[in-house]
Structure 1
């Protein structure tokens, strides 16, 4: 299958490498081809460093270009969260490849609105990858109101063949599933710190070493059964009215205390742990 990746930033480069590792011919389209090639190489090195796959053949299937005149069977757009930008780029692909599936890696723009803006709503589908794509198995698959069901089925089967875990988002709501959960939790984290309930470090510790540790094995719904329905009902009645209802978070830079070197170290440690888990699951 011919795959075009429109936008080869960190996300797009890793998504393109994943398709190439899965045996597809991939063309990454980027304004700065040299920078995109560096990101692709970094993605392949991540795979090699953590023994996640053989990259020799994948390298032969990857091509980077700044020329958008590419024909494909599947296009995956991964550019900044700007509806007009995404729609313009996908319109160009749609005109050159009238049968291609048009997938978007948007994390917040409704697929229905994007499909209408592209002018080919039946071919537009959301494939929202989690960061970093090579190390995170779930991918949200989002149909717009007029997305052809065969497009959803094709994308779901393709992702599953790549070793991903497709998550069907049954309604096209802003933020889909992942980001609605992520920002609901973040809103409460911000409130706890801003109101002096706990330090930023302790909130991180409770989420990382408490909630995440348990949720890694059982999700929130399974936790209800394990903890006792009556206990959860009583606690929910007491606590839900007290949870933050803020409609904005403010400038989140106030919560970034680490410098560039420390953030790089944290990212490398995260990737190493995620890669270890991924290998153990295969």
Structure 2
């Protein structure tokens, strides 16, 4: 399949690497071709550094990637347009329309994290062939991808996206309604809102809130999700506890300036590197288990 990546920022470049590693021909659209190629090289270097593919597989995938400054040139002959531009409906619309002019039969997969899939599909004049494929950061290391259909997205388009992602080794999660934030960001921001409230109201320090999340909830939820945990812990127990706790949770309509609660001390790059190494190690282990079955 010929894939055009419209928008080659960090997310778009890594998504392009994924499709190339899956055997697809990939052309990336970006205004700064040198920077786009650098991001692609960094993506393949990440894969190589963590031994997620063999060196030969990485070299072959890199040879399947090219770049183009014009969205029409990038899209020419494409079967699939993957959009990963900033969260600006007018910008996405303008660039995707230019791409679709050269590939009118292509399906469109938008990596938006907050905009309506239906609104994007209508704005570009292709609602039936537009689907959301929301990757989680960093795309090369996070298996889940949200697949979201708009109000007029054809079921065949959703299924095409789902099967394509499975073939890439991803874990597609079908979001049944096109709601703001989909599933990932709704859960993420609900937690961030409560974390911010706890720090703002002096219940715990930012560092200790992170410890509870990282070493407590995340450790357990990594093995059993919260809704399964309800069954394991006892539904009646959860119902009783919830009646006393839920009314007192934050119901803020907007977040405070997160600069007041974010932990900014230390080297962020070191933490990102440690995160990536741990995520890559889990991927290798999961693949080894899958191959052994």
When the two structures are superposed, what TM-score results if normalisation uses the length of structure 1?
Answer: 0.98
Conserved 8 A contact 2:196-2:256: no
Match of 1:124 among 127, 130, 133: 130
Match of 2:197 among 169, 179, 191: 191
Q: Name the residue aligned to 1:15.
A: 15
Q: Name the residue aligned to 1:60.
A: 63
User: Is the aligned partner of 1:49 residue 2:49?
Assistant: yes
Q: CA deviation at 1:76?
A: 0.6
Q: CA deviation at 1:250?
A: 2.3
Mapped to 2, the partners of 1:243 and 1:254 lie a distance apart of 20
User: Is the aligned partner of 1:278 residue 2:274?
Assistant: no
Q: CA deviation at 1:253?
A: 2.0
- In structure 2, runs of 5+ residues without a counterpart are 288-293
Q: CA deviation at 1:246?
A: 0.3
- 3-state SS, counterpart of residue 133 of structure 1: coil
Q: CA RMSD in A?
A: 1.0
Q: Name the residue aligned to 2:39.
A: 39
Mapped to 2, the partners of 1:253 and 1:78 lie a distance apart of 26
Misfit runs of 4+, over 4 Å: none
Q: Name the residue aligned to 1:81.
A: 87
Change (3 A) 1:256 1:190: closer
- 3-state SS, counterpart of residue 101 of structure 2: helix
Conserved 8 A contact 2:135-2:145: yes
When the two structures are superposed, what TM-score results if normalisation uses the length of structure 2?
Answer: 0.94
Mapped to 2, the partners of 1:145 and 1:103 lie a distance apart of 15
Q: Name the residue aligned to 1:262.
A: 267
- 3-state SS, counterpart of residue 115 of structure 2: coil
Superposition pairs of residues 1-282 of structure 1, within 5 angstroms = 1-53=1-53, 54-68=57-71, 69=73, 70-71=75-76, 72-258=78-264, 262-282=267-287
Conserved 8 A contact 1:94-1:120: no
